């Protein structure tokens, strides 16, 4: 059996690797029961006999010093999402396999997004505010909502999460539009999606949901002009990264367009600064980055990591291996 170690912080270890995952892992590899806990990405007493790492949030920095101290290392199974915080250029110089449970983390984000899309189409956030203001004086004529029938939902980026959202939206009677310059019309059509430009997406959709990765090319990509062009009563959902939105321009438009609702699970900076107007704006729904895996959902990522480990040991094709080129375009 190959020698393996858990290397991640203790709280992440307990969340990601539950009893069923630990039992399976112990049957597959020779592994130490307790994790090695990195401090600021650095690991003391690096085990030279390590061939496989099972990791997650709080994992080790895979830099030259670490890799040279672990000459037998052949695979890293990362039981979380983005690997940007642990890989370095030195890692890609080595012939070491790395996989991530990013697909598992996409599931709760897509579920959260679907829930928010439906709530936004029902105009629930605006009506909740209005109901509290008017109390028993709320009129039938006040209760207006486009609903999830023949309405339009826009998806910015058809990555793993964006595609999952589109698949879930396929159960609703909505038109799905998408913006993604890296996706062909043929690919989009296979998913039942209509490709449009970013400006058109914002102007045509009742709800726009952002799922693009935070890259130099996408930073500040969503501008004030996009919010200005939105339909009356439209909504914007961001479960991606706050820096993709020009936040100041967004706030300026939201102040003038009280009919628009912004559901923000992420901001820039995160959390917002203490004096940020986002905390006090009635048409901003602010949640503390909860769309991704939480509590019980984290063990799904552990399961995906163990599934990959088993495929690797059997010599089967890996489903979630990440290459250097893929990593450049990931969040």
Per-residue pLDDT tens for 73-85? 999 999 999 998 9
Q: What percent of the chain has pLDDT over 90?
A: 91
Under CATH, which architecture does the 106-286 domain have?
3-Layer(aba) Sandwich (3.40)
**For residue 314, what pLDDT is reported?**
98
Q: For residues 82 and 330, is the Cβ–Cβ distance under 8 A? A: yes
Q: How far apart are CA 231 and CA 204, in angstroms?
A: 7
Region 102-126: mean pLDDT is 97
pLDDT digits (tens, 9 = 90+) for 299-318: 999 999 999 999 999 999 99
Q: How far apart are CA 37 and CA 33, in angstroms?
A: 12
Q: What is the DSSP string of 235-302?
A: EEEE-S-GGGB-HHHHHHHHHH-TT-EEEES--SSSSPPTT-GGGG-TTEEE--S-SS--GGGHHHHH
Region 323-329: mean pLDDT is 88
**For residue 191, what pLDDT is reported?**
81
Q: What percent of the chain has pLDDT over 70?
A: 100
pLDDT digits (tens, 9 = 90+) for 152-204: 999 999 999 999 999 999 999 999 999 999 999 999 988 889 999 999 999 99
Q: Before 269, cis peptide (omega within 30)? A: yes
* pLDDT(141) > 90: no
The topology (CATH level 3) of 3-100+295-328 is Rossmann fold (3.40.50)
**For residue 328, what pLDDT is reported?**
82
* pLDDT(329) > 90: no
**Torsion sign (Cα): 304, 305, 309, 310:** negative
Average pLDDT of the chain to the nearest whole number: 95
Confidence of residue 94 (pLDDT cuts 50, 70, 90): very high
**For residue 330, what pLDDT is reported?**
77
Residues of the chain with CATH 3.40.50.720: 3-100+295-328, 106-286
Burial of 110 (0-12, 13-18, 19+ CB in 10 A): buried
């Amino acid at each position: 059996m190959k020698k393996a170690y858990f290397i991640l912080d203790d709280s992440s270890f307990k969340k990601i690797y539950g009893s069923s995952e630990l039992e399976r892992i112990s049957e597959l590899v020779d592994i130490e029961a307790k994790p090695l806990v990195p401090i600021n990405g650095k690991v003391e007493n690096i085990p030279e006999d390590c061939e496989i790492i099972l990791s997650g949030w709080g994992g080790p920095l895979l830099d030259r010093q670490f890799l040279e101290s672990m000459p037998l290392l052949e695979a890293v199974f990362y039981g979380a999402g983005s690997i940007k915080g642990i890989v370095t250029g030195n890692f890609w110089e080595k012939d070491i396999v790395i996989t991530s449970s990013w697909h598992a983390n996409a599931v709760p984000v897509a579920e959260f997004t679907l829930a928010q899309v439906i709530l936004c189409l029902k105009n629930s956030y605006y009506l909740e505010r209005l109901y509290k203001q008017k109390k028993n004086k709320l009129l039938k004529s006040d209760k207006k909502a486009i609903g999830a029938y023949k309405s339009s939902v826009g998806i910015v980026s058809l990555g793993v999460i964006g595609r999952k959202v589109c698949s879930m939206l396929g159960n609703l009677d909505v038109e799905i539009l998408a913006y993604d310059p890296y996706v062909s019309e043929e690919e989009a059509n296979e998913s039942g999606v209509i490709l449009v430009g970013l400006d058109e997406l914002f102007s045509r959709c009742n709800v726009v949901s952002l799922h693009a990765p935070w890259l130099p090319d996408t930073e500040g990509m969503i501008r004030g002009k996009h919010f200005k062009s939105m339909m009356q009563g439209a909504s914007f959902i961001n479960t991606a990264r706050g820096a993709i939105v020009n936040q100041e321009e967004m706030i300026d438009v939201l102040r003038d367009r009280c009919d628009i609702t912004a559901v923000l699970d992420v901001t820039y900076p995160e959390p917002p600064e203490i004096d940020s107007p986002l905390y006090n704006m009635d048409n901003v729904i602010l949640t503390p980055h909860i769309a991704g895996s939480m509590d019980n959902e984290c063990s799904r990522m552990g399961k995906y990591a163990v599934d990959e480990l088993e495929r690797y040991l059997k010599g089967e094709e890996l489903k979630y291996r990440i290459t250097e080129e893929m990593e450049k375009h990931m969040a």
